[in-house]
């Protein structure tokens, strides 16, 4: 990654640089390489953004840093808290004015932070509000990490402070498809899980994908996080409608990719997310088809009551239908918890806050061109 820039360019955001890149930058500013460790500590342990207060750094180095670099943060343009369960949702604004949602879901004295990876999304899943928003751009690694740093600021959750909230889990399940912004997501996760920094356990990081098949096995090779698949249908006929990505990577290819992933990460149980949609995907026949589909995979299911948004074309399954569906999965030996609907009163399903502020239109499916990220890997195995 080029970390030295011409004088007239915009400042370099130190957030989003891997440790090795920080060393390159540090030496390019005529400081000793070990100063990069000190910088890293200020950024990720202390949450400091003002170079002048990084008192163990030489004054000349601090001056150069303040002339050429920033420690970036998104601005919070709106905060909503669910009265029902204290789920927090923030609309985070970046310097170019673009915004994404970040959601914090507390449980006892810990909590899960749901991060966005793109502004809008190309995949247009029909049950998803973000899917109505045309992709504007990918988030940079700095912008993905910045969501966590900003929430740490909000809760004063830095290692030297008396933290009242604990960010124990990170899920890439907010706006956008993480595997279509692969390189930036991987860089961000490597920073978040770095043992000398925020040190989020890789076992407590989950990447969720709608099924970008060529990237799934690669993810398994690169980082030891959890994999979550947005499944949501038992047949190609239904999934083609709910999730247009299925036309490119149908269920057989998706299951093959999951098996390939488990061959790399054989201890890792895959989670299949399944939104319960009344009369669409919630029959007993659907449940039995799911059992046949995942035969041989080490996996579990999360059954999610549909968090209905204004104008949504679907309704949530009845409690009876959800219970019968779960029972068939459980009787077949799979864990299948029915998730509590969190943050319903603040529309915590992805994209719903941002959409209230979004000025563009979603665009038709044919306008939503998307490509698999260009990374150096042999992906031909799963491409249809």
Catalytic residues: 101, 350
Distances (CA, A) of 290 to 275, 303, 341, 356: 13, 12, 22, 35
82 or 128: CB nearest ligand SF4: 128
Q: Pick from 74, 176, 214, 244 the residue near ligand SF4 by CB under 6 A.
A: 176
Query: Between residue 345 and residue 384, which ones bind ligand SF4 under the rule CB under 6 A?
Result: 350
For 85, other C-beta atoms within 10 Å of its C-beta total 17
Collapse the DSSP code of 181 into the 3-class scheme (helix H, G, I; strand E, B; otherwise coil) and give the result.
Answer: helix
Q: Does 303 bind ligand SF4 (CB under 6 A)?
A: no
Query: What is the contact mask toward ligand SF4 in residues 204 to 233, using x (rule: CB under 6 A)?
Result: ------x-------------------x---
CA distance 239 to 237: 6
Q: Does 135 bind ligand SF4 (CB under 6 A)?
A: no
DSSP-derived secondary structure letter, 277:
B
Q: Pick from 92, 100, 121, 149 the residue near ligand SF4 by CB under 6 A.
A: 121
Collapse the DSSP code of 294 into the 3-class scheme (helix H, G, I; strand E, B; otherwise coil) and give the result.
Answer: coil
Collapse the DSSP code of 77 into the 3-class scheme (helix H, G, I; strand E, B; otherwise coil) and give the result.
Answer: strand
DSSP-derived secondary structure letter, 7:
T
Least separation in angstroms between residue 49's CB and ligand SF4 is 30
Q: Pick from 101, 177, 282, 286 the residue near ligand SF4 by CB under 6 A.
A: 177
For 14, other C-beta atoms within 10 Å of its C-beta total 24
Least separation in angstroms between residue 350's CB and ligand SF4 is 5
17 or 124: CB nearest ligand SF4: 124
Least separation in angstroms between residue 180's CB and ligand SF4 is 8
177 or 282: CB nearest ligand SF4: 177
> Could you please report the per-residue DSSP string of 103-161?
EEEEETTEEEEE---EES-SS--TT-SGGGS---EEPPHHHHHHHHHHHHHHHT--TTS
65 or 245: CB nearest ligand SF4: 245
Contact set with ligand SF4 (CB under 6 A): 121, 123-125, 128, 130-131, 175-177, 210, 230, 350
């Amino acid at each position: 990654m080029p970390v030295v820039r011409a004088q007239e360019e915009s400042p370099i955001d130190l957030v989003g640089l891997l440790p090795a890149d920080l060393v390159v930058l540090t030496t390019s500013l005529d400081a000793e390489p070990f100063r990069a460790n000190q910088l890293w500590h200020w950024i990720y342990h202390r949450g400091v953004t003002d170079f002048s207060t990084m008192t163990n750094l030489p004054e000349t180095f601090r001056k150069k840093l303040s002339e050429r670099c920033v420690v970036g943060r998104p601005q919070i343009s709106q905060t909503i808290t669910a009265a029902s369960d204290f789920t927090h949702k923030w609309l985070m604004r970046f310097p170019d004015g673009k915004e994404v949602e970040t959601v914090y879901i507390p449980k006892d004295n810990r909590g899960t932070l749901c991060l966005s990876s793109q502004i809008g999304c190309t995949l247009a899943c029909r049950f998803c509000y973000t899917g109505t928003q045309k992709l504007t751009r990918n988030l940079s690694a700095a912008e993905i990490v910045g969501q966590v740093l900003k929430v740490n600021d909000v809760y004063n959750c830095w290692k030297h402070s008396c933290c009242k909230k604990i960010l124990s889990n990170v899920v890439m399940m907010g706006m956008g498809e993480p595997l279509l912004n692969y390189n930036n997501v991987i860089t961000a996760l490597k920073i978040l899980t770095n043992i000398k920094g925020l040190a989020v356990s890789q076992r407590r990081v989950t990447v969720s994908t709608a099924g970008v098949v060529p990237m799934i096995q690669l993810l398994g090779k690169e980082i030891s996080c959890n994999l979550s698949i947005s499944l949501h249908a038992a047949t190609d006929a239904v999934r083609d409608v709910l999730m247009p990505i299925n036309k490119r990577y149908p269920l057989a290819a998706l299951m093959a990719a999951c098996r390939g992933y488990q061959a790399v990460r054989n201890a890792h149980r895959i989670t299949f997310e399944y939104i319960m949609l009344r009369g669409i995907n919630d029959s007993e026949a659907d449940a039995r088809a799911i059992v046949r589909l995942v035969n041989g995979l080490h996996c579990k299911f999360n059954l999610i009551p549909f968090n209905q948004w204004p104008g949504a074309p679907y309704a949530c399954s009845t409690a009876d239908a959800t219970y019968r569906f779960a029972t068939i999965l459980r009787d077949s030996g799979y864990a299948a918890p029915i998730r509590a609907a969190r943050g319903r009163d603040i529309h915590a399903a992805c994209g719903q806050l941002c959409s209230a502020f979004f000025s563009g239109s979603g665009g038709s499916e044919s306008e939503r061109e998307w490509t698999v990220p260009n990374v150096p890997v042999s992906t031909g195995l799963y491409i249809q």
